[in-house]
Amino acid sequence: MFKNVFGSGFLVRTAHVILTWVITLILFLHDTDLRRQEELGELTLPVLFVLLVLVSVLLYFAVSLMDPGFVLSDDCDLQFTLGVAEETQDMIPQSTKSIRLRRCGRCLVQQPMRSKHCQTCQHCVRRYDHHCPWIENCIGERNHRWFVLYLAVQLVVLLWGLYMAWSGFSHAPTWQLWLRSNGVLLGAAAAVAVLSLTVLLLLGSHLYLVSLNTTTWEFMSRHRISYLKHCGADENPFDRGTLRNLWSFFCIWEPVVWEHVYFKQGNDTI
């Protein structure tokens, strides 16, 4: 279920953890609201902040090390059980939306619909979204919702940290003295501001795509994907309405046979 923590991406994960706790330490060492609350003996705010940072780090490792939904050779048995084995494809009525499952030329497994081979991970991933260099892992069927949750928690931490950094800036009579006394905190605040904007854009884009029941790969490469080539420019065969899309994404954990959804939308039967 989980990757080796010391495998590929170890340096990226280590850098992420070090940066997270270094910035947290800077916020506590300077005269921010966190430090003032701590000195007054009011530990509720500092403890909540540290716990939220810890939760964000744990979610980061969970998403980074989790199996994103690699297509294994025994998935063919599952496909057969669910009625979409390769042998049954000839039973699908031929139409403009009849697509045969194909076999990956690299890892030689039969690719379910919406899966893609990741050249970095060297595996086919079910409901492939993208390969994220930030976590050194693919985002797919099994860890996509956890990735969105991680982004949400991380955004709260970053915005809270940015507010705390702002509360720690001290006044000085000249710019030189101000930079000397606030330089480290200013650097931390700048890093947090850039990360906040990045995470906000990522979270917003993923929530938008989830509400449409499409993936980053499908959105960016629609013209090159065989099962979307025959669809209209504004047609998404997997869209079941915004509320139902969000409900299915966050609340339904069973694997979905996207072939069923695809051909149902096309009024075909399997």
Predicted confidence pLDDT, tens digits, the chain (270 residues)? 566 566 567 889 999 999 999 999 999 999 999 999 998 988 999 999 999 999 999 999 999 999 999 998 755 544 444 444 444 344 334 444 555 667 887 888 888 999 999 988 889 999 999 999 999 999 999 999 999 999 999 999 999 999 999 999 988 888 888 899 999 999 999 999 999 999 999 999 999 999 999 999 999 988 888 888 888 777 889 999 999 999 999 998 888 888 888 877 544 433
Which positions are annotated as active-site residues?
132
CA distance 149 to 133: 18
| C-alpha separations of 120 from 30, 48, 64, 141 in Å | 41, 37, 14, 17
95: left (phi over 0), alpha (psi -120 to 50) or beta: beta
CA distance 169 to 159: 16
CA distance 165 to 218: 39
CA distance 62 to 135: 10
pTM of the model: 0.86
- Angle of helix 10-29 relative to helix 175-212, nearest 10 degrees, comes to 130
H helix or E strand, kind and range, residue 124: strand 123-125
Is 202 in a helix, a strand, or coil? helix
Supply 234's token pair.
């504004």
Closest among 265, 262, 218, 236 to 99, alpha carbons compared: 262
pLDDT of residue 75: 55
